[in-house]
A = this chain, B = another copy of it.
C-alpha cells in the first residue's frame, strides 16, 4: 500500500482544491493516496495573507492533524507558505508527520544552493516569512525576499502576468542579490516553476511540489524506519483524559471540501 497524504488548503474556500489536486495528481507516486481538503470556517477566506486570517485557521488545522493521526495518514501538509500552526498541529498528530511548504522548500534550497531568494506575493509577507526563515536557521542563506506585487487571489487569474513577474523578480534576485535558487513563496504560485526554471537557469522550487514530495518521503521513513514525530519533552501531546474532560476534538473535523486521489 502506498503513502497516504492529507493536503490542507488553509482557506475557507473550495476553489483551489481541484487545481491543487490536479498538480498533486501529476506528481504523486502511483500508489500514493491523497486527500485534499479546504477548511470549514466561520468566514469564506480565499487567502490567509494576514496574520489575523491565519489565526482563524488554527483550530481547524490542529483538528485535522488529530484526525489525520487517528485515520493513520502518513503525513499532512499545511498548504500555506507561512507554515501556519505546523508545530501546533504536529503536537496532536500521533504518528503522522506534519509539515509546511516553507520548511520543505528551505531544506531543499539549502541542499541544492548556498543562497536563495523567496518571491512573495506582497511586501506584507516579508517580515513574517523572514522571521520564520530565521526560526528555521536559514537566515544566513537568504539572499533576498522580493515581492511580485500580486495578491494571492490574482496569481492564478492572470497567469501570464504572474509568470512575467516571477521571471523578472527571479532574474533580479539572481543578478542583483546573488540568489542561486528561487523559492516561490506562496502555494498559489503553482504551475509556474517549470518554465521559470528553464528560463532562469536555477532551481525554482514551488510551494506545492516541494512539501508534497517531502511528505511522500517522510511517509516512507515512517513505514520503513519508524521515524515519526517525537512525543517527549516539548513534543509531548496533551493527555487523552484531559482532552475528554475539556470536551475537545469531539467527532470528526468538518471540512469545507474534500477531494480524493488514489
Contact = CB atoms under 8 A, between A and B. Distances in A.
Interface of A: 12, 27, 42-46, 49-56, 58-59, 61-62, 66, 85, 87-89, 91-92, 97, 99, 103, 107-108, 110-115, 123-128, 131, 134-141, 174, 178-181, 193-194, 197, 201-203, 205, 209, 213-214, 217-218, 220-221, 224-238, 246-248, 250
Given A50-B238, A99-B111, A246-B46, A230 B55 contact: no
Contact of A114 (B59, B99, B234): B234
A56 B248 contact: yes
A233 B92 contact: no
Given A53-B238, A55-B89, A178-B233, 18 more contacts: A27-B225, A49-B238, A58-B58, A97-B112, A99-B111, A112-B227, A112-B229, A114-B127, A114-B235, A123-B233, A124-B233, A127-B178, A128-B234, A131-B140, A174-B233, A194-B225, A203-B227, A213-B225
Nearest to A174: B232
A227 to B, nearest CB: 5
Contacts of A61: 55
B87 A51 contact: yes
Contact of A217 (B174, B197, B214, B247): B214
A88 B126 CA distance: 15
- Interface class of chain A by DSSP: helix
A97 to B, nearest CB: 7
A210 to B, nearest CB: 8
Nearest to A50: B238
Contacts of A108: 221, 227
Contacts of A135: 131, 135
Nearest to A235: B180
B235 A224 contact: no
